[in-house]
């Protein structure tokens, strides 16, 4: 099996970045979902309620994040914070994060059409990985649930064989795209290894309406959820992709082998 692609999404809900290699640190892939946009009640925005976020692209150079949006000046996010901590909500978790100041708040508010602020994982952030009743020592960033989302190329190929119009992998916002499995084989593997990294399966990924949003335009349709519902539904949830956590830190590289352990 091979690692075909690596992606990070520095700001939850915004466009991602394709990488040749990535460092795994205490929260997952370095720089992945380290920022979050929150509303006036300090609850997170995502493409679920702000599809336009997919058109906010990101770049990361020497650890500095820059946000881009068509027709608007590029916003360079300073590494220093405003000095104010903000208690923010991500699903059922309430965490302390560092507020990134008024300039980023004004920039994002003008695009999203309502009051918004940018926050960053700081020194007092604490959000443990939970799977069922188990709580791990591992931290999770501002992602929905787990540090790493893995999808096989074969799973997307199988889905596209069932669709009238094929879709791209960016609909599912994975961290790692791997190849060499049977379709949906990532659901059944308990542990994976590269030469330097050991990954443990935690649970399958339940999908939402974000998968129906064209990541280039922000326009939503009915697919692929409509088709996935016909063969990937269990109970009330539809699954595509699998979550993993890293049992150690290391470097993951595009094109390297990844093995079932």
Distance, in Å, from the CA atom of 66 to the CA atom of 81, rounded to the nearest integer, reads 15
Per-residue pLDDT at 136: 83
pTM of the model: 0.96
Per-residue pLDDT at 135: 86
pLDDT in tens, the chain (261 residues): 999 999 999 999 999 999 999 999 989 999 999 999 999 999 999 999 999 999 999 999 999 999 999 999 999 998 766 679 999 999 999 999 999 999 999 999 999 999 999 999 999 999 999 888 888 888 999 999 899 999 999 999 999 999 999 999 999 999 999 999 999 999 999 999 999 999 999 999 999 999 999 999 999 999 999 999 999 999 999 999 999 999 999 999 999 999 998
Distance of CA 73 to the CA centre of its chain: 25
Per-residue pLDDT at 218: 96
Residue 218: count of CB within 10 angstroms of its CB: 15
List, in order of start, the domains of the chain with CATH numbers.
Answer: 2-260 (2.40.33.20)
Per-residue pLDDT at 82: 66
Distance, in Å, from the CA atom of 84 to the CA atom of 120, rounded to the nearest integer, reads 11
């Amino acid at each position: 099996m091979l690692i075909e692609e690596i992606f990070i999404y520095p700001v939850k809900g915004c466009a991602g970045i394709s990488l040749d290699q990535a460092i795994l640190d205490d929260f997952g892939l370095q720089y992945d979902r380290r920022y979050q946009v929150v509303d006036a009640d300090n609850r997170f925005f995502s493409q679920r309620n702000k599809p336009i976020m997919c058109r906010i692209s990101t770049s990361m150079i020497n650890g500095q994040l820059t946000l881009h949006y068509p027709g608007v000046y590029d916003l360079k996010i300073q590494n220093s914070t405003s000095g104010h901590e903000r208690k923010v909500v991500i699903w059922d978790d309430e965490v302390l994060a560092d507020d990134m100041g008024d300039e980023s708040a004004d920039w994002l508010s003008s695009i999203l059409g309502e009051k918004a602020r940018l926050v960053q994982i700081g020194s007092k952030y604490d959000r443990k990985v939970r799977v069922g009743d188990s709580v791990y020592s591992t931290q999770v960033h501002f992602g929905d649930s787990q540090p790493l989302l893995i999808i096989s190329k074969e799973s997307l190929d199988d889905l596209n064989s069932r669709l009238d119009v094929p879709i791209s992998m960016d609909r599912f916002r994975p961290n790692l795209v791997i190849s060499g499995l049977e379709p949906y084989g990532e659901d059944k593997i308990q542990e994976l290894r590269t030469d330097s990294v050991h990954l443990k399966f935690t649970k399958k990924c339940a999908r939402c309406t974000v998968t129906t949003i064209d990541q280039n335009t922000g326009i939503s349709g009915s697919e692929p959820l409509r088709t996935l519902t016909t063969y990937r539904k269990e109970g009330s949830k539809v699954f595509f992709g699998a979550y993993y956590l890293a049992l150690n830190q290391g470097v993951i590289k595009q094109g390297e082998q990844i093995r079932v352990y």
